[in-house]
Protein backbone atom coordinates (compact mmCIF):
# COMPACT_ATOMS: atom_id res chain seq x y z
CA UNK A 1 0.00 0.00 0.00
CA UNK A 2 1.28 3.48 -0.75
CA UNK A 3 1.96 5.97 1.99
CA UNK A 4 -1.03 8.08 0.91
CA UNK A 5 -3.38 5.10 0.96
CA UNK A 6 -2.16 4.04 4.37
CA UNK A 7 -2.77 7.51 5.70
CA UNK A 8 -6.32 7.25 4.43
CA UNK A 9 -6.69 3.88 6.16
CA UNK A 10 -5.56 5.29 9.47
CA UNK A 11 -7.62 8.43 9.02
CA UNK A 12 -10.68 6.35 8.16
CA UNK A 13 -10.22 4.41 11.37
CA UNK A 14 -10.11 7.69 13.23
CA UNK A 15 -13.27 9.01 11.59
CA UNK A 16 -14.96 5.67 12.06
CA UNK A 17 -14.63 5.97 15.81
CA UNK A 18 -17.19 8.71 15.90
CA UNK A 19 -19.56 7.02 13.47
CA UNK A 20 -21.49 3.79 13.31
CA UNK A 21 -19.20 2.56 10.55
CA UNK A 22 -16.34 1.61 12.90
CA UNK A 23 -16.71 -2.14 12.52
CA UNK A 24 -16.43 -1.96 8.74
CA UNK A 25 -13.31 0.20 8.64
CA UNK A 26 -10.29 -1.80 7.71
CA UNK A 27 -7.06 -1.21 9.57
CA UNK A 28 -4.04 -2.63 7.82
CA UNK A 29 -0.91 -2.26 9.93
CA UNK A 30 2.23 -2.30 7.80
CA UNK A 31 5.23 -3.69 9.62
CA UNK A 32 8.89 -3.85 8.56
CA UNK A 33 11.58 -6.40 9.37
CA UNK A 34 15.15 -6.61 8.15
CA UNK A 35 15.03 -10.41 8.35
CA UNK A 36 13.81 -12.76 5.66
CA UNK A 37 10.53 -14.62 5.70
CA UNK A 38 10.58 -17.47 8.19
CA UNK A 39 12.88 -15.76 10.71
CA UNK A 40 11.35 -15.93 14.23
CA UNK A 41 10.75 -12.16 14.47
CA UNK A 42 8.90 -12.15 11.13
CA UNK A 43 6.84 -15.18 12.15
CA UNK A 44 5.96 -13.61 15.49
CA UNK A 45 4.56 -10.43 13.96
CA UNK A 46 2.66 -12.49 11.38
CA UNK A 47 1.20 -14.53 14.22
CA UNK A 48 0.16 -11.33 15.98
CA UNK A 49 -1.60 -10.32 12.75
CA UNK A 50 -3.42 -13.65 12.55
CA UNK A 51 -4.69 -13.19 16.10
CA UNK A 52 -5.96 -9.69 15.35
CA UNK A 53 -7.52 -10.83 12.09
CA UNK A 54 -9.35 -13.64 13.91
CA UNK A 55 -10.52 -11.53 16.83
CA UNK A 56 -11.87 -8.74 14.59
CA UNK A 57 -13.21 -10.83 11.69
CA UNK A 58 -10.63 -9.34 9.41
CA UNK A 59 -11.11 -5.72 10.44
CA UNK A 60 -7.55 -5.38 11.77
CA UNK A 61 -4.74 -7.09 9.90
CA UNK A 62 -0.96 -6.85 9.85
CA UNK A 63 1.05 -6.85 6.65
CA UNK A 64 4.67 -7.77 7.31
CA UNK A 65 7.33 -6.63 4.85
CA UNK A 66 10.33 -8.86 5.54
CA UNK A 67 13.81 -8.82 4.04
CA UNK A 68 14.41 -5.06 4.14
CA UNK A 69 11.72 -4.41 1.52
CA UNK A 70 11.06 -1.07 3.19
CA UNK A 71 14.71 -0.25 3.79
CA UNK A 72 17.42 -0.79 6.36
CA UNK A 73 16.63 -0.31 10.06
CA UNK A 74 17.94 3.24 10.07
CA UNK A 75 15.36 4.18 7.39
CA UNK A 76 12.44 2.21 8.75
CA UNK A 77 12.95 3.65 12.24
CA UNK A 78 12.70 7.14 10.79
CA UNK A 79 9.59 6.17 8.83
CA UNK A 80 8.01 4.78 11.98
CA UNK A 81 8.82 7.87 14.02
CA UNK A 82 7.11 10.17 11.52
CA UNK A 83 4.14 7.86 10.93
CA UNK A 84 4.96 6.77 7.38
CA UNK A 85 5.16 3.18 8.65
CA UNK A 86 2.86 1.66 11.29
CA UNK A 87 5.03 -0.98 12.93
CA UNK A 88 8.65 -2.00 12.96
CA UNK A 89 10.59 -4.87 14.43
CA UNK A 90 14.18 -3.84 15.09
CA UNK A 91 17.00 -4.55 17.49
CA UNK A 92 17.30 -2.15 20.42
CA UNK A 93 20.79 -1.13 19.26
CA UNK A 94 19.77 1.20 16.39
CA UNK A 95 17.54 3.00 18.90
CA UNK A 96 20.44 3.60 21.30
CA UNK A 97 21.40 6.95 19.76
CA UNK A 98 17.76 8.10 19.68
CA UNK A 99 16.50 6.97 23.10
CA UNK A 100 19.36 6.79 25.67
CA UNK A 101 17.40 4.39 27.91
CA UNK A 102 17.49 1.75 25.17
CA UNK A 103 21.26 1.61 25.53
CA UNK A 104 20.98 0.06 28.98
CA UNK A 105 19.81 -3.43 27.91
CA UNK A 106 22.36 -3.28 25.06
CA UNK A 107 25.26 -2.71 27.50
CA UNK A 108 27.93 -5.40 27.45
CA UNK A 109 27.46 -8.14 30.03
CA UNK A 110 24.68 -6.29 31.86
CA UNK A 111 22.59 -9.46 32.04
CA UNK A 112 23.85 -12.63 33.67
CA UNK A 113 21.65 -14.84 31.51
CA UNK A 114 18.80 -14.84 29.02
CA UNK A 115 16.51 -15.55 31.94
CA UNK A 116 17.76 -12.42 33.72
CA UNK A 117 17.15 -10.41 30.53
CA UNK A 118 13.59 -11.78 30.29
CA UNK A 119 12.82 -10.84 33.88
CA UNK A 120 14.05 -7.28 33.36
CA UNK A 121 12.41 -6.67 29.99
CA UNK A 122 9.13 -8.39 30.87
CA UNK A 123 8.79 -6.25 34.00
CA UNK A 124 9.09 -2.63 35.13
CA UNK A 125 12.45 -2.00 33.44
CA UNK A 126 11.04 -2.91 30.05
CA UNK A 127 8.00 -0.70 30.64
CA UNK A 128 10.16 2.25 31.66
CA UNK A 129 12.16 1.94 28.44
CA UNK A 130 8.93 1.77 26.43
CA UNK A 131 7.79 5.00 28.11
CA UNK A 132 11.05 6.71 27.13
CA UNK A 133 10.56 5.65 23.49
CA UNK A 134 7.20 7.35 23.38
CA UNK A 135 8.83 10.76 23.54
CA UNK A 136 10.41 9.91 20.19
CA UNK A 137 7.13 8.85 18.62
CA UNK A 138 7.49 5.11 19.19
CA UNK A 139 5.06 2.97 21.18
CA UNK A 140 6.70 -0.21 22.43
CA UNK A 141 4.62 -3.35 21.96
CA UNK A 142 6.91 -6.30 22.68
CA UNK A 143 10.45 -7.35 23.43
CA UNK A 144 11.56 -10.42 21.53
CA UNK A 145 14.59 -12.64 22.02
CA UNK A 146 17.84 -12.10 20.25
CA UNK A 147 20.02 -14.55 22.15
CA UNK A 148 23.59 -13.44 22.71
CA UNK A 149 25.68 -11.46 20.27
CA UNK A 150 29.23 -12.73 19.74
CA UNK A 151 32.11 -11.89 17.40
CA UNK A 152 32.86 -13.65 14.13
CA UNK A 153 35.60 -12.89 11.65
CA UNK A 154 37.46 -14.02 8.56
CA UNK A 155 41.00 -13.70 9.94
CA UNK A 156 41.74 -15.70 13.10
CA UNK A 157 40.17 -17.40 16.09
CA UNK A 158 39.58 -14.84 18.85
CA UNK A 159 40.12 -16.20 22.32
CA UNK A 160 40.89 -12.96 24.19
CA UNK A 161 40.56 -9.20 23.61
CA UNK A 162 44.22 -9.18 22.50
CA UNK A 163 43.22 -11.21 19.43
CA UNK A 164 40.86 -8.41 18.38
CA UNK A 165 43.65 -5.87 18.03
CA UNK A 166 43.34 -4.03 14.72
CA UNK A 167 40.45 -6.06 13.29
CA UNK A 168 37.78 -4.08 11.43
CA UNK A 169 34.49 -5.11 12.98
CA UNK A 170 31.10 -4.11 11.65
CA UNK A 171 28.63 -2.89 14.26
CA UNK A 172 25.05 -1.73 14.19
CA UNK A 173 24.32 1.96 13.89
CA UNK A 174 24.89 2.58 17.62
CA UNK A 175 27.61 4.61 19.33
CA UNK A 176 27.49 2.16 22.20
CA UNK A 177 28.49 -0.72 19.94
CA UNK A 178 31.28 1.41 18.45
CA UNK A 179 32.58 2.11 21.93
CA UNK A 180 32.36 -1.56 22.92
CA UNK A 181 34.42 -2.74 19.96
CA UNK A 182 36.97 0.03 20.45
CA UNK A 183 37.31 -0.85 24.13
CA UNK A 184 38.44 -4.27 22.94
CA UNK A 185 41.15 -2.79 20.72
CA UNK A 186 39.43 -3.37 17.37
CA UNK A 187 38.20 -0.82 14.81
CA UNK A 188 34.45 -0.39 14.68
CA UNK A 189 32.66 0.19 11.37
CA UNK A 190 28.95 1.04 11.70
CA UNK A 191 27.17 -0.40 8.68
CA UNK A 192 23.64 -1.44 7.78
CA UNK A 193 22.85 -5.13 8.12
CA UNK A 194 22.22 -5.70 4.43
CA UNK A 195 25.72 -4.62 3.45
CA UNK A 196 27.63 -6.89 5.79
CA UNK A 197 27.81 -10.02 3.63
CA UNK A 198 29.52 -8.25 0.72
CA UNK A 199 31.76 -6.27 3.05
CA UNK A 200 32.96 -9.51 4.67
CA UNK A 201 33.41 -11.22 1.32
CA UNK A 202 35.42 -8.40 -0.22
CA UNK A 203 37.51 -7.74 2.88
CA UNK A 204 36.13 -4.24 3.53
CA UNK A 205 35.62 -5.52 7.07
CA UNK A 206 37.20 -8.45 8.90
CA UNK A 207 34.29 -9.38 11.07
CA UNK A 208 30.99 -8.56 12.69
CA UNK A 209 28.99 -9.68 15.69
CA UNK A 210 25.63 -11.34 16.01
CA UNK A 211 23.62 -14.24 17.41
CA UNK A 212 23.46 -17.76 15.97
CA UNK A 213 20.36 -17.30 13.81
CA UNK A 214 21.66 -14.08 12.21
CA UNK A 215 25.15 -15.48 11.65
CA UNK A 216 23.49 -18.37 9.84
CA UNK A 217 20.47 -16.80 8.06
CA UNK A 218 22.61 -14.08 6.43
CA UNK A 219 25.15 -16.72 5.32
CA UNK A 220 27.83 -14.66 7.04
CA UNK A 221 29.07 -17.98 8.41
CA UNK A 222 30.04 -19.01 4.90
CA UNK A 223 32.52 -16.14 4.61
CA UNK A 224 33.53 -15.60 8.26
CA UNK A 225 34.86 -18.90 9.54
CA UNK A 226 35.69 -18.03 13.17
CA UNK A 227 32.88 -17.57 15.69
CA UNK A 228 33.84 -16.80 19.29
CA UNK A 229 31.06 -17.20 21.85
CA UNK A 230 32.07 -14.26 24.05
CA UNK A 231 28.36 -13.30 24.32
CA UNK A 232 29.07 -9.61 24.90
CA UNK A 233 25.52 -8.31 24.44
CA UNK A 234 22.02 -9.70 24.93
CA UNK A 235 20.48 -6.59 23.33
CA UNK A 236 16.90 -7.72 22.70
CA UNK A 237 14.65 -7.21 19.70
CA UNK A 238 11.73 -4.84 19.99
CA UNK A 239 8.44 -4.37 18.16
CA UNK A 240 7.34 -0.75 18.04
CA UNK A 241 4.35 1.07 16.63
CA UNK A 242 4.33 4.60 15.32
CA UNK A 243 2.70 6.93 17.83
CA UNK A 244 0.93 8.57 14.89
CA UNK A 245 -0.81 5.27 14.11
CA UNK A 246 -1.35 4.44 17.77
CA UNK A 247 -3.08 7.73 18.51
CA UNK A 248 -5.48 7.21 15.61
CA UNK A 249 -6.70 3.91 17.10
CA UNK A 250 -9.57 3.50 19.53
CA UNK A 251 -8.72 2.50 23.09
CA UNK A 252 -10.38 -0.86 22.46
CA UNK A 253 -8.23 -1.52 19.38
CA UNK A 254 -5.11 -0.45 21.26
CA UNK A 255 -5.95 -3.01 23.88
CA UNK A 256 -6.43 -5.75 21.27
CA UNK A 257 -3.08 -4.86 19.74
CA UNK A 258 -1.32 -4.98 23.10
CA UNK A 259 -2.90 -8.34 23.82
CA UNK A 260 -1.88 -9.81 20.47
CA UNK A 261 1.65 -8.44 20.84
CA UNK A 262 1.94 -9.97 24.32
CA UNK A 263 0.82 -13.37 23.01
CA UNK A 264 3.36 -13.20 20.20
CA UNK A 265 6.21 -13.11 22.73
CA UNK A 266 6.05 -16.72 24.04
CA UNK A 267 5.32 -17.81 20.47
CA UNK A 268 8.48 -16.08 19.29
CA UNK A 269 10.61 -17.48 22.11
CA UNK A 270 9.73 -21.03 21.19
CA UNK A 271 10.56 -20.45 17.53
CA UNK A 272 13.75 -18.73 18.61
CA UNK A 273 15.03 -21.68 20.59
CA UNK A 274 14.35 -24.02 17.69
CA UNK A 275 16.06 -21.66 15.27
CA UNK A 276 19.18 -21.39 17.44
CA UNK A 277 19.55 -25.17 17.34
CA UNK A 278 19.02 -25.31 13.57
CA UNK A 279 21.55 -22.53 13.03
CA UNK A 280 24.16 -24.21 15.22
CA UNK A 281 23.70 -27.40 13.21
CA UNK A 282 24.07 -25.57 9.88
CA UNK A 283 27.26 -23.86 11.03
CA UNK A 284 28.67 -27.13 12.38
CA UNK A 285 27.89 -28.89 9.10
CA UNK A 286 29.84 -26.18 7.29
CA UNK A 287 32.90 -26.98 9.42
CA UNK A 288 33.32 -23.54 10.98
CA UNK A 289 35.71 -23.03 13.85
CA UNK A 290 33.52 -22.18 16.83
CA UNK A 291 35.41 -21.04 19.92
CA UNK A 292 32.98 -21.88 22.68
CA UNK A 293 35.32 -22.08 25.66
CA UNK A 294 35.99 -18.38 26.16
CA UNK A 295 37.21 -16.78 29.35
CA UNK A 296 34.79 -13.85 29.44
CA UNK A 297 36.48 -12.06 32.31
CA UNK A 298 39.03 -10.10 30.23
CA UNK A 299 36.18 -9.02 27.92
CA UNK A 300 34.11 -7.90 30.92
CA UNK A 301 37.10 -6.10 32.45
CA UNK A 302 37.63 -4.09 29.26
CA UNK A 303 34.09 -2.68 29.34
CA UNK A 304 34.48 -0.06 32.08
CA UNK A 305 34.83 2.88 29.62
CA UNK A 306 31.63 1.84 27.82
CA UNK A 307 29.62 2.09 31.03
CA UNK A 308 31.25 5.45 31.81
CA UNK A 309 30.38 6.80 28.39
CA UNK A 310 26.74 5.71 28.29
CA UNK A 311 25.53 5.59 31.87
CA UNK A 312 25.67 9.35 32.24
CA UNK A 313 22.65 10.34 34.36
CA UNK A 314 21.26 9.22 37.73
CA UNK A 315 18.22 7.81 35.89
CA UNK A 316 20.35 5.64 33.63
CA UNK A 317 22.50 4.57 36.59
CA UNK A 318 19.34 3.63 38.45
CA UNK A 319 18.28 1.38 35.55
CA UNK A 320 21.69 -0.30 35.60
CA UNK A 321 21.56 -0.77 39.39
CA UNK A 322 18.05 -2.20 39.30
CA UNK A 323 18.98 -4.64 36.55
CA UNK A 324 22.18 -5.72 38.25
CA UNK A 325 20.56 -6.16 41.65
CA UNK A 326 17.75 -8.35 40.33
CA UNK A 327 17.96 -11.80 41.92
C1 LIG B 1 20.02 -8.99 14.23
C2 LIG B 1 18.76 -8.24 14.57
C3 LIG B 1 18.45 -7.19 13.52
C4 LIG B 1 19.63 -6.30 13.29
C5 LIG B 1 20.87 -7.13 13.03
C6 LIG B 1 22.11 -6.28 12.86
O7 LIG B 1 17.68 -9.14 14.65
O8 LIG B 1 17.32 -6.47 13.92
O9 LIG B 1 19.41 -5.49 12.19
O10 LIG B 1 21.08 -8.08 14.06
O11 LIG B 1 23.17 -6.69 13.32
O12 LIG B 1 20.34 -9.90 15.26
O13 LIG B 1 22.02 -5.22 12.23
pLDDT digits 0-9 by tens, 106-137: 999 999 999 999 999 999 999 999 999 999 99
The CATH number of the domain covering residues in 3-145+236-277: 3.40.190.170
Position 81 pLDDT exceeds 50: yes
Q: Output b/e per residue, 135-157; b: 16+ Cβ within 10 A.
A: eebbbbbbbbbbbbbbbbbbbee
Mutate to test the pocket of ligand 1, among 32, 33, 35 (most ligand atoms within 8 A of CB): 35
The reply to whether 149-234+286-324 shares the fold of 3-145+236-277 is: yes
Number of the ligand 1 atom closest to the C-alpha atom of 210: 12
Ligand 1 centroid to Cα of residue 219, in Å, is: 14
Q: Which atom of ligand 1 is nearest to the CA of 172?
A: 13
Q: What percent of the chain has pLDDT over 90?
A: 92
Are β-strands 237-242 and 87-91 bridged in parallel, bridged antiparallel, or unpaired? antiparallel
Strands in 1-59 per DSSP E:
27-33
State the average pLDDT over residues 296-304.
Answer: 98
Domain spans of the chain? 3-145+236-277, 149-234+286-324
- Whole-model pTM: value is 0.93
Does domain 149-234+286-324 correspond to CATH entry 3.40.190.170?
yes
Q: How many other β-carbons are positioned within 10 Å of the β-carbon of residue 8? A: 11
Please tell me the distance between residue 34's alpha carbon and the centre of ligand 1 in angstroms: 7
Neighbouring CB atoms inside 10 A of 227's CB total: 27
Model confidence pLDDT, tens digit, residues 168-205 = 999 999 999 999 999 999 999 999 999 999 999 999 99
**Atom 5, ligand 1: residue with shortest CA distance:** 193
Among the ranges given (16-30, 62-76, 159-173, 185-199), the one the predictor scored with the smallest mean pLDDT: 16-30
- Does the beta carbon of 146 lie inside 6 Å of ligand 1? yes
Distance set, CA 191 to CA 71, 178, 209, 268 (Å):
13, 11, 12, 27
* Amino acid 13: pLDDT: 44
Amino acid sequence: MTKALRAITVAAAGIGLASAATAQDQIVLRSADTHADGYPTVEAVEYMGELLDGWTNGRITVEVFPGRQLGEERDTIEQTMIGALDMNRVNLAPLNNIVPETAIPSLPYIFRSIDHMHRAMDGEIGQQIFAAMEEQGLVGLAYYDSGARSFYNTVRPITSPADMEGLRIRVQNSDLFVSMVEALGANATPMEFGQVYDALRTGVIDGAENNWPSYESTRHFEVANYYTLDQHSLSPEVLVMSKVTWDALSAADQELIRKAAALSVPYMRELWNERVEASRAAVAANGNEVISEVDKQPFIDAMGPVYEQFVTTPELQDLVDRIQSMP
